[in-house]
Structure 1
């Protein structure tokens, strides 16, 4: 695997840390800015919305630049808005910085996915995608507790400065490791890539990605109240539970990267069934501490193993739209990350209990599995990821 792909993973880690760290900083931000906790919580929603809107738009904008230039511009803008967020005393400026930061993050991730897929061997897109997503999963492990620790020691602004510092090595590494290149004159352009994205199989894959990620983040978002109110563990256990989920996510991405290129249907089929069963068993056994700790790790592994495989399959299904395929994959995952927790919030607000987000995760996983089965029975069966583009072309 080219070294530059690991460099991109480092930058994705820094940006993922920014996305996840706010869960431990909301109270401090609200107190410092003189706003309610609910208002401070809109910083997270604003970031997710920026990712959804920004992924395809920024990917399309980046098509006109060499990929190294696009990566550097997006990363430098991301760093600049974090500096602005760290020094501002105005909540509106901080909110705007989160939106712009999400746009830059979305553009970077879309271009990075396309760059990594292009630099990897033709049958190794799954491994390349796994390296990038490893940065996201490591951010899950380190971002939440790391941001909380920095906030406790030096205030929430220190966490924003830490993201800037983490991004600096990636800037120099991208300059040295990512080929300068030039825009591909033979590339189909935005309209050409949009036509390629009409593939029914690709649209199904994006839907599956949104459903699986919705299930993932519905369960993940409400782990803390579940652990303290249902499992009966002390508040001090919450960081460990979140870290276990992050470690499982890293294990899932790593394992998925090894299998996604050679046995995708096996991984998606059996992984999807196990994912559905795991959420249901978790909901039923959440009162048992041992079961909770085990299933948090297992569900993190399954969720990101299946999710990373779906992203790589989207790249195989849209070889004629490499940049926008990455952008729409990013957008689809963030649709799930926004809708899943919202459904969980509704369930909690109407009094269905702290287990209800887990049941919603199971429902979303069931819909994803049913959708995949229907799509598979109505179209040609891809043998491996390397042969999927041929099968996709036949399906069209």
Structure 2
């Protein structure tokens, strides 16, 4: 009998040991290898977000046919997602400052997965719009929290590279995720593309659950603290640079299919290659932008804006040639995305204790740039100009962003000088 009792106790002990969750380490306790693995897990979530954001553009015709609506009406699906990003980024980050960052990332990815899961089972157009709005809500907040977490775990001199690593997931999605989801949607129905994204979300949740450490170096905040970012002029000026400067890229991207077929005479069957070249340029540009931010943050932003203006001007002329136009379009993706890590790091520096909201607002600004750039490009074409002309409108936007950079840079330098003067120890004369 004692032997039987001993075996039962041992059995229960071993079972509870298997079921008991191992305590997660603090961020200061993980190795460099573990930090890299955690960043890959967070980047996988960015990959899923990038896939769902861009694949909708290629699914519109199928959605329109399935619900018996026009493609213009189906395009509101994209607007619904973008609206979710713009609304969700500041709202979620302002209200969730007290939630530990690890837990918040899991919640955000769960909401993202639910939104895409609902998209799969949307029985009518209205339900699909709601599902896309829900899927967009955690977009900006996820990138904000994941980027700040990566920067918090990284050495100070590598913050730009850490933020760029997370953004790399979105860029890689344009090369791999979007074509794969598009092919799946074309073969089995548009809803299966969102099903693939939901699966990516589930894998990300599992990876974060087992790998993400407790972010003890990231202090909790409250809504009042986060909203304090809106009182800082440097936050607004940085957001303005992103909204204006990034808009030119979307003025070209939105109409690239017509530009390359109507202006350059490219066969429509090769548009996938055009988009892939752009995606490869974005991946390389994100990598380059991270190192640019670590090397010289302020002048890195200026360099990116100058190069955006240059490559957009060049695209106006090269878009008449299929090969040169495709290569130039890849450069548009390269220098456009090189701007993002620097803007993210700058917002972290100027936002004080409200870094989460400021970083999330960056993604709201970039989505506004998406909408504004597309609208401006559309107005240029509607005015009777060629499909190449939006590139010059994009150049004007980049130049306008450079004009914003000037006073922003000098105002920041003056603020830092005043802060340094106020902290210098005073010496009394004898």
TM-score by shorter chain over 0.5:
yes
Aligned partner of 2:323 in structure 1 is 290
Structure of higher CA gyration radius = 2
Measure the CA separation in 2 of the matches of 1:95 and 1:286: 35
Are the aligned partners of 1:21 and 1:146 in contact in 2 as well (CA < 8 Å)?
no
Measure the CA separation in 1 of the matches of 2:404 and 2:115: 40
Aligned partner of 2:398 in structure 1 is 365
What secondary structure is seen at the aligned counterpart in 2 of 1:125? helix
**Residue of 284, 287, 297 corresponding to 1:254:** 287
Q: TM-score, normalised by structure 2?
A: 0.85
Measure the CA separation in 2 of the matches of 1:176 and 1:378: 44
CA gap of 1:45–1:83, structure 2 versus 1, over 3 A, is same
Measure the CA separation in 1 of the matches of 2:207 and 2:348: 25
Are the aligned partners of 2:245 and 2:400 in contact in 1 as well (CA < 8 Å)?
no
> Is 2:133 aligned against 1:99?
yes
**Alignment length, in residue pairs?**
388
Q: TM-score, normalised by structure 1?
A: 0.92
Measure the CA separation in 2 of the matches of 1:325 and 1:118: 15
User: For 1:196-215, what aligned pairs fall within 5 Å after superposition?
Assistant: 196-215=229-248
Measure the CA separation in 2 of the matches of 1:159 and 1:188: 37
Structure 2 gaps of 5+ residues are: 1-31, 423-430
Aligned partner of 2:29 in structure 1 is none
Are the aligned partners of 1:74 and 1:104 in contact in 2 as well (CA < 8 Å)?
yes
Per the TM alignment, residue 178 of structure 1 is displaced from its structure 2 partner at its CA by: 1.5
**Residue of 49, 57, 61 corresponding to 1:23:** 57
Higher RCO (CA-CA < 8 Å; seq separation 6+): 1
**Residue of 110, 118, 133 corresponding to 2:144:** 110
Measure the CA separation in 2 of the matches of 1:53 and 1:393: 34
Per the TM alignment, residue 336 of structure 1 is displaced from its structure 2 partner at its CA by: 0.8
- Deviations along 1:225-252, one digit per CA (max 9) or x if unpaired, are 1000001100011110111111001101
User: For 1:147-226, what aligned pairs fall within 5 Å after superposition?
Assistant: 147-181=181-215, 187-226=220-259
Measure the CA separation in 1 of the matches of 2:250 and 2:128: 24
When structure 1 is superposed on structure 2, of 197-206 and 357-366 the one drifting more is 197-206
In angstroms, what is the RMSD of aligned CA positions?
2.2
Are the aligned partners of 1:67 and 1:183 in contact in 2 as well (CA < 8 Å)?
no
What secondary structure is seen at the aligned counterpart in 2 of 1:380? helix
Structure 1 gaps of 5+ residues are: 382-388
Aligned partner of 2:335 in structure 1 is 302
Aligned partner of 2:367 in structure 1 is 334
Measure the CA separation in 1 of the matches of 2:280 and 2:75: 25
When structure 1 is superposed on structure 2, of 128-137 and 306-315 the one drifting more is 306-315
